[in-house]
Chain A
Amino acid sequence: MIEINNMWKRYGDSVILENISARVAEGEFITLVGASGCGKSTFLRMLLGTDTPSQGQILLDGKPIADEPDSDRGVVFQQYSVFPHLTVLDNVVVARAFADSRFGFLFGARKRAAIAEAEELLNIVGLSHMQHRYPDALSGGMRQRLAIAQALILKPRILLLDEPFGALDPGIRADMHELVLRLWRQHKLTIFMVTHDLKEGFHLGTRLWVFDKLRNDPQAPNAYGAGITYDLPVGACEPELLEEIDQSMTATDAVVDSL
């Protein structure tokens, strides 16, 4: 479904990503891990359409992917992805209003239908009891559940998660993993998830991409960009491999940190 051909990303002199090529089939769940500053989030932004490759291209069904966000690609950020001025229910209903009305407001039967649909989704993510509260009153985990419900109501083909659970407690994080896996199977989504946590990457999904610098030049740390150094099917990995990846990432981190 998605094809990435010899893609590069540069900001001025510094190379962020170099020569990335990959193919992704419909329904894959890809987790992206890597040291900080290795371009995982940049990569996700290019999939989302808020950033464009400097060279090479990303194809969706054989056509270049749209260079601004659209309803094919849902997204959940680490924070700020819900609307603070709308109640929990309205946060989900508003997505229907965007999609189905010209000016962004629904009335009558269509509004009732959208509310029913939103209520069902909120029930699935476990937020029914908070429907009429504002996001302000939600915990971090609840807010991310809401963001997920919001992203799913329009049934996007691709779901992009940018460190969605990075700010959550470990216990809540495990609940969220369950939720995401369940929704992924139910809705047959293609998911890309950026995470800092290598274990999370191994636990979730069908495929793990490790972003790392292929070459390090301590004199010119920005001269080389990162590539996908490991592309692994999840489940077939030995613990030694995990350690190896961890060590190579730590080495890159050390170089980056020493600057």
Chain B
Amino acid sequence: MKRMINLAPGKVWRVALAMLPFALILLVYMAASDARLAENPQDKLLPSFEQMGDAINRLAFEPSKRTGEYLFWQDTLSSLQRLGMGMAIAASLGMFLGLMTGALPMLNASFAPLLTVVSLIPPMAILPVLFIVFGLGEVSKVALIAIGTTPFIARDIQKRCLEIPREQLVKAQTLGANSFQIIVRVLVPQLLPRLLDAMRLSLGAAWLFLIAAEAIAATDGLGYRVFLVRRYLSMDVILPYVAWITVLAFVIDFALQKLSRVAFPWHEPKEGGA
């Protein structure tokens, strides 16, 4: 018998072992759900997969009686739009701030401490401010995501920028490069994959801000829906929505990772991210 630390599963076993916990969770859920429904068919707490399927079928493939919209897809679209805009703003702004404070010591001296302080402000605490300033429309939700994730991305990029070996910058200077050329040809290309990493890491927070903002003030969106149907204890809607949000988050994360691999083949992704 080998030592435990040297025992590694083969390819097939690795997949099987990965699937095992998921299967177990499903089995436990199904058993618990069946038991409760056998006791009381009206139970709403642990709906069967059939009930969840019905609920989603209703929301996704039948037009809403009130508005004529397909609510599930409308919610998904609205949420993804908010998330996408928020992340796009956060990524551009974070990249710009991180790059400038990382590359130029003068800007670092005056803005890096500010950035540190701003990043410590809990974004949820200023959500009321955003609602007051931007109203209850789309802007405040996008702003919350952007404000919540920009400082993290900016600080991460700044740190990565300072981690680029000084030797490279000196080398570029001995090749006659000016500051602008060094930023454009040495720093930015090396920071872009880092930006994708930082976006992947901040996606979790972005989802949190999105759902919180939607829960408080919205007329559609995934977060809005789950908080709306909570009033009716509609676990048959909430659980599939949560699963759907998880799937979306996973797909976005996976897409960013793939993009990083394809666009920056020289960049070895460090293990342990996300």
Query: Which residues of A pack against B, CB within 8 Å?
Result: 48, 50, 68-71, 73-75, 77, 79-86, 94-95, 97-99, 103-105, 134-136, 147, 150-151, 153-154, 156
Question: What B residues does A103 contact at CB under 8 A?
Answer: 180-181, 184
* B131-169 with Cβ < 8 A to chain A: 165, 167-168
Contacts A83-B171, A95-B176 supplied; 14 other A-B pairs, CB < 8 Å: A73-B174, A77-B170, A80-B168, A81-B168, A81-B171, A95-B175, A98-B176, A98-B178, A98-B181, A98-B185, A103-B180, A134-B265, A136-B266, A151-B174
B185 to A94, Cβ gap below 8 A?
Answer: yes
Beta-carbon nearest neighbor of B167 in chain A: A80
Main secondary structure of the interface of B (DSSP, over half): helix
Count B interface residues, CB 8 Å. 24
**Residue of B178, B181, B267 touching A85 (CB-CB under 8 A):** B267
Chain B's nearest CB lies how many Å from the CB of A142? Answer: 15
Question: What A residues does B186 contact at CB under 8 A?
Answer: 83
A99 to B185, CA, bound (A): 13
A70 to B173, Cβ gap below 8 A?
Answer: yes
> At the interface, yes or no: B172 with Cβ under 8 Å from chain A?
yes
Chain B's nearest CB lies how many Å from the CB of A111? Answer: 14
A69 to B180, Cβ gap below 8 A?
Answer: no
A69 to B173, CA, bound (A): 6
Known A80-B167, A134-B265; contact A68-B173, beta-carbon cutoff 8 A: yes
A154 to B264, Cβ gap below 8 A?
Answer: no
Question: What A residues does B168 contact at CB under 8 A?
Answer: 80-81, 83
A153 to B177, CA, bound (A): 14
Known A98-B175, A150-B175; contact A136-B170, beta-carbon cutoff 8 A: no
A85 to B167, CA, bound (A): 15
What are 29 pairs between A and B in contact, CB < 8 Å? Answer: A48-B174, A50-B170, A68-B173, A71-B176, A73-B174, A75-B170, A75-B174, A77-B171, A79-B167, A80-B165, A80-B167, A80-B168, A81-B171, A83-B168, A83-B171, A83-B190, A85-B264, A94-B175, A95-B175, A98-B176, A98-B181, A99-B176, A103-B184, A104-B184, A104-B185, A150-B171, A151-B171, A151-B174, A154-B176
Question: What B residues does A75 contact at CB under 8 A?
Answer: 170-171, 174
